[in-house]
Structure 1
């Protein structure tokens, strides 16, 4: 039978918090965010089935069980630290963990990240994906790019960019429904839906008194939404950053010159106060603002 072991990263968090009597100071020592640190402690408490700390405002103290468990944990960590590793002489490499939405990652982050890595070759970047409008916690990453309304309490929020929203369609689908000459002609088209790009604000900009569509294909990923348009499933709303290559190739075309100038959703950099104290994270944030905030 496999031995069920506690997560080592949670053990190191537990030992650091016990030593400092503070989650905040321990989180700073481990170079992780306070929320990520709290997550590690909760994970360990769930594993052992006991509370490890008594929390009193910003200070913490060990429970009776926590004091006994700390002796065991310190012995285990000391054994790991003292084990000779003859080839381990290199210092720890600076590391950035960043979470981005899939479409932003595909169309913007990955095509441009070599610019940052060439300027900072010593920094390791770990990239994770999140679902816009759903994943709302920083978890264990240093930086998040969020697509939303920009209201995230207790977090630093900087707008990356905001682009006009406009409808696109494939030439084949446009021909199959006999063309669309005016916004009102869209009543004969299949309108593809997405919580990320609701239709109703664009309807208002186009002078249409129409409700939000409630039927038909819904795709809550902007990249997949564009693929659905390219395959001829209907008309969808998009933005220049994502659609420009498909438009240039002729895979899709923009309908009308009507664009929603200030859509309700935009891309934001989101992070906790204090992460800029780490030079590599500060450099990444500055690079992203310079590269994408145009």
Structure 2
């Protein structure tokens, strides 16, 4: 049976936090966010089955077990760092870990990411996915793009992109229900739902005093919602850069000229202040803002 070993990144987080008596300062030394460091400490505590620190508000002190375990960890880390590596002379390549919603990644980030690579070929970008409105922790990411209301306490938050919302449907679905020529015709349509794109604000923009639909298909991913619309499940709300290609190919059709110009949700760049001190992270944030704030 293979021997389970504690993760090295958790050991280094534990050693730094113990030496500096501060999660925040240790996180800064390791160039990660405080929440990421806390995650690593919890991971190690789960591995050893003991509490390593006693937490009292912002202050942290080693537990009795933590003091004994620290000696072992320091010995192991010292052995690793002191081992001679005659061929190691190249500095570590700078990396940026970014977490983004799936639809933003598919329709916006990936089509533009090559321009960042051309400007900064020395920086490695690692892209992870998160679910909007549900994953509200930066985890171990350096920077995150979030789709929401923009209220993220204790985080630096900058609006990245806001697009008008409008309804679309597939030609096949419109034919199936006999077409939609007026707002009143929406009553015979199935209005697809999403927590990310509520109908109520658009109803108000259209002058309709209608309640939010509550008994139709709900899809809490904007890309999947658009796929559901394309495949004829009903009428749904979307945004320009998501639906552009499908509209151009005739797979979906925009209904009416009414657009909700200031939807409740928009895309925001979210990060902890300390993360921007790293040049590669600052470069990536600047590129995001430049690229997507001016998107036509």
**Class of the TM-score when normalised by the shorter of the 2 chains:** over 0.9
* Per-residue Cα deviation, 1:21-71 (whole angstroms, up to 9, x for no partner): 222221111110011111111221222222222345544332221111111
Secondary structure of the 2:273 match is coil
Tell me which moved more, 267-276 or 80-89: 80-89
* Per-residue Cα deviation, 1:163-221 (whole angstroms, up to 9, x for no partner): 11100011111111111011110111111111111111111111222111111211111
Measured after TM superposition, the shift of residue 5 of structure 1 is: 1.8
2:61: which partner in 1? 61
Tell me which moved more, 139-148 or 62-71: 62-71
1:274: which partner in 2? 274
Question: Structure 1 residues 57, 133: CA separation in 2 closer, same or farther (over 3 Å shift)?
Answer: closer
CA contact (8 A) 1:98 1:142 kept: yes
Secondary structure of the 1:61 match is strand
1:213 aligned onto 2:239: no
1:31: which partner in 2? 31
Distance in 2 (CA, whole Å) between partners of 1:271 and 1:286 is: 12
Secondary structure of the 2:157 match is strand
CA contact (8 A) 1:184 1:208 kept: no
Q: How many residues align?
A: 294
Secondary structure of the 1:14 match is helix
Measured after TM superposition, the shift of residue 85 of structure 1 is: 3.2
If the length of structure 1 is used for normalisation, what is the TM-score? 0.96
5+ residue gaps, structure 2: none
1:74 aligned onto 2:74: yes
Tell me which moved more, 182-191 or 52-61: 52-61
Once superposed, what is the RMSD of the aligned Cα atoms?
1.3
Distance in 2 (CA, whole Å) between partners of 1:177 and 1:59 is: 64
Secondary structure of the 1:256 match is coil
If the length of structure 2 is used for normalisation, what is the TM-score? 0.96
1:289 aligned onto 2:289: yes
1:170 aligned onto 2:145: no
